[in-house]
Amino acid sequence: METIKNVLIENNLVTAFALIGFTMYFSYFISTKLTRGKLHGSAIAIMIGLLLAYYGGTVTGGEKGLADISIFAGIGIMGGGMLRDLAIISTAFGVNFNQVKSAGVIGFISLFIGIFLSFFIGVIVALSFGYSSPVDITTIGAGTATYIVGPVTGSALGASSEVITLSIAAGLIKSMLTMIFTPFAAKFIGLDNPRSAMIFGGLMGTTSGTAAGLAATDPKLVPYGAMTATFYTGLGCLLCPSLLYFIIQLTF
């Protein structure tokens, strides 16, 4: 057992891929057998990931969740920004650009509507919980836009680690709600073609939530929604720590 443990530690990235692969297989099995696909496997996988991260942090007292356990250290690399961004960018290769053109100006406008709407919902939530500092309010608002924009904004503005954590939590909740409710709402909002998928991705952002929700609706729509959701993330990282922070400063 000691030899196996040493092999797993020395090849921690391979171990991480094996663990994530098993988690995804188990999550999709649960999704198919227990929820008949209504609760997407990605949403279940995220919940399992959060529980494992909590367990890892509790056991080790560290700050990296399960990655603080030596045998699972590769998860810190696998879940890092490099592989995350590679996975997001790779979705664009499934796009038919003739369909992209059909979204036109509406697709572009949806990006701004989505960012501003999510941000100001987050601002309202922050105020309702007693936050009054423009830095804290902006960071939580940015996290509501998406859990990637929250930490970027918080780091740029010098927010505390607690507030940055809250911004990530807000983004994760939004992502999971998007995963769960997209298949149910698709019929009512006309989410059945590439153009509407692009507009949806621009309004919702949260690439992981949009991709999983669209996968449960129609896998062919995933690249379109994920692409505009990716632009949403980049635009949010530019607007939240600059323009939107300036607006919050003037207001509060």
In the prediction, which pLDDT does 56 show? 81
- Give the residue-averaged pLDDT of 39-58: 80
At residue 98 the predicted structure's pLDDT band, cuts being 50, 70 and 90, is low
pLDDT of 95 above 60: no
Task: Name which of 31-35, 43-47, 126-130, 182-186 the model is least confident about.
Answer: 43-47
What are the pLDDT digits (tens) for 28-42? Answer: 899 888 877 767 787
In the prediction, which pLDDT does 53 show? 81
In the prediction, which pLDDT does 237 show? 87
Q: Residue 214, Cα to own-chain centre: how many angstroms?
A: 14
What are the pLDDT digits (tens) for 203-242? Answer: 998 888 898 888 888 888 988 888 888 888 888 888 999 9
Report the mean per-residue pLDDT for the chain.
84
Q: Percent of the chain scored above 70 by pLDDT?
A: 89
In the prediction, which pLDDT does 103 show? 63
**Cα(155)–Cα(164) distance, rounded to whole angstroms?**
8
Q: Write out the two tokens for 80.
A: 């890092």
